[in-house]
Chains A and B, each alone.
Chain A
Amino acid sequence: MDAVTVGTGPAVVLIASVLAIGAYLVAVVDRVLFALVAGRPVLWSVVTGPAREAAAVARRQPVTTEAPDRILWVMAPAAYAGLAAMALSVVPLGPGLAVADVRTGIVVFGAAEALAIVAIFLHGWAPNSALPLVAGYRFVGVALSYELLSMFVLIAAALPAESLSIGAIVASQEPVWNVVRQPLGLPLFLIVTAGVTFTGPLAIVDSPDLAGGGAAEDSGVVRLAWVGARAAMLVAFSAAAAAVFLGGWLGPVLPPIVWMALKTAAVAVTVLASRHLLARVSPERFVHIAWTVLLPLAFADLAIAGVVSL
């Protein structure tokens, strides 16, 4: 049955606040990890740093280029953030606490993930500039390779639940979490998360090898919107990973929503740590690995889940 458990007004507030607070925390954690890896002291300024930097970026002029696609340039971050909200809307944050814990939750989530590719490409296309464009289309060349992994591991997680609803998938993990039952699922989904947020080894969009790539021409509030949307997408995917593989809100003693927050944070920290500890893989090499190693692993994950569910 379809369960829409939160009204429209509260839903907007819930999604917006989870994404906004989450995105800010992502920026804070990123600074902490940077300092640790760089061998600098972690100061209290990591907490206020993102706000200061956001204010500084917003005060600068949003530069325009020669003959840009202005509408898409503004719409791309909006679409990307909107897709993060769409992805999060089908993820229950506690028992019965979801905007739309629909029977087809996995399908809705997958749709948001696939459409994110379009938003990322258009963000590179919009400024009418060579390096952002190259970043955009090389990303599209890689995207299918990680998208496929995502579908297989999510369907495998849905098998024991006998439902595509993410709430039902969480409930099905009462005896044992999917991370134990389907050990290949979470690592593969982390790769998907790195891909859709173009972070860590898959930081192939706004990357320094293309002098900023898709974001090379962004400045001022346009830049701020894109950076914020990226962080929001990481929050949405970390929440989904926590729900689908780590038992979501399940856990002893603490309130369910606290468990969900802790597990979401753990996934986000793992992805952010990969950004500072692992070198970028070249897009070509990743596609090769994805089709020869990762995709067979995703098949195996689905096969194991199928056999166990018989």
Chain B
Amino acid sequence: MAVTPNEGERQRTDVAVAIAAGAGAWEATQELRGVPGVRVVTTPRHAAVLLVAGTIDDEDREPLQRVHDQLPHPRAVVAWRPAGAARDVPAQVVDEDLDAVIAQVHRSRSVVIAEPARGARDLLPDTEPNAWRGVGPFGQGGEGMMGGTPYGRPMTMTGDDRDGLALDQLDLVLGPFLDPLPGPVTLHVTLQGDVLQDAELTVRRARDEWFGEPADPDLRTARRLLRRTAHGLHVAGLDALASRAAALARTVTDDADRAPLARATAGLCRRVRRSGLLWTLRGVGTIDGGDAAQRWRHRIATLTAAIDGSVSGAAPSAEPSAVEAAVVGMTLTDAMATLASVDALQPDAVGVQT
């Protein structure tokens, strides 16, 4: 069978791709949402191919292996990273632009469909993460139905909630490779129902320079914002508009004709306004005096100005602590919408190399 799909076959057969990206590569991977024949899925369970992009931090190595093993068999893995970057999981490596990645994704999938035995094997043993060690004082089952850490995970205990009820408090780590999160960030939450009682946000620092970025600073900003817009629209359930934004991002190049770009951008922004997105985000996630709807407005305005070549200054990046303060007390869906409305997050100071 042909392992190099032609354009026609690409149009016919969608490949379901899950993305796990380092901070330098994450924005660029969002452009896959605009590629016909590729479907970026929201959970690894729906994926046929895992795309690992950029440099993965050491502390994210194990989460990456877990995501890798969450793909159903037969699975294929493609790594998109500059030559010489650190290896993380076994994969077909691509060190060119997105077109090469798309071709490799189709190729890798064709191979595992033709020969399932060549699919990527599990990296981690399929066992309990923590053994059961009986009842006692050393991190195991509590007394009766209460307390303790059965299988190494703390038993949920009740606490007062906002409705005057006492509900279980569930500790949960979201990320670093969770599709609705903007990039490789980790959100450690304490949930009651779907309300965040506590949140801790960890943001990774970009370690890669990425392929094919426009040299013009305005166009670079425009392309960045279109990628963020694509992701934000996806989180709001607007995948078709997300695809439009991502496809538009791919056309923002140094030699592109500005007039059609401006027209297409204006059309996209009009549809975003008509979707009711700004209305749904009114009063949600106020950070530094502005809510998520205002951040989206600012994003659209900056994007329009950047295409016109009249943008001034870089986007302010939000402090993780300010985001944490904003999302506590919110429902999980509002917290995700808040994170997706932020154009840039300040990475943690930990491990900064000067």
Contacts and interface: CB of A to CB of B under 8 A. Distances in A.
A209 to B, nearest CB: 4
A299 interface: no
Interface of B: 11-14, 16, 34, 36, 41-43, 45-46, 48, 70, 72-74, 113, 128, 170, 172, 178-180, 191, 193-194, 234-241, 243-244, 247, 271, 274-277, 280, 284, 331-334, 336-337
Contact of A216 (B45, B170, B234): B45
Contacts of B331: 138, 282-284
A215 B332 CA distance: 17
B276 A201 contact: yes
B1 to A, nearest CB: 15
B11 A204 contact: no
Interface residues of A, number: 55
Contacts of A35: 240
**Most chain B CB atoms below 10 A, which of A66, A138, A209, A277:** A209
B81 to A, nearest CB: 24
A267 to B, nearest CB: 20
A207 B194 CA distance: 14
A279 B333 contact: no
Contacts of B74: 60-61
Nearest to A133: B170
A112 to B, nearest CB: 25
B333 A210 contact: yes
Given A45-B12, A63-B45, 14 more contacts: A33-B240, A34-B240, A37-B241, A37-B271, A39-B244, A48-B12, A60-B73, A208-B235, A209-B336, A210-B180, A210-B333, A210-B336, A219-B46, A284-B331
Contacts of A279: 236-238, 275-277, 280
Given A38-B247, A211-B179, A218-B45, A276 B13 contact: no
B113 to A, nearest CB: 7
Interface in A184-227: 200-201, 203-204, 207-212, 215-220, 223
Nearest to A134: B194
A223 B47 CA distance: 12
Contacts of A215: 43, 46
18 contacts: A34-B240, A35-B240, A39-B247, A40-B36, A40-B247, A49-B12, A49-B14, A56-B113, A60-B73, A62-B72, A137-B193, A138-B333, A209-B237, A210-B333, A211-B43, A212-B41, A220-B72, A281-B276
A280 interface: yes
A200 B240 CA distance: 12
Interface string A274-310: 0111111111110000000000000000000000000
Contact of A52 (B12, B238, B244, B284): B12
Contacts of B277: 279
A43 interface: yes
A77 B333 CA distance: 25
B46 A34 contact: no
Contacts of B239: 34, 208, 276
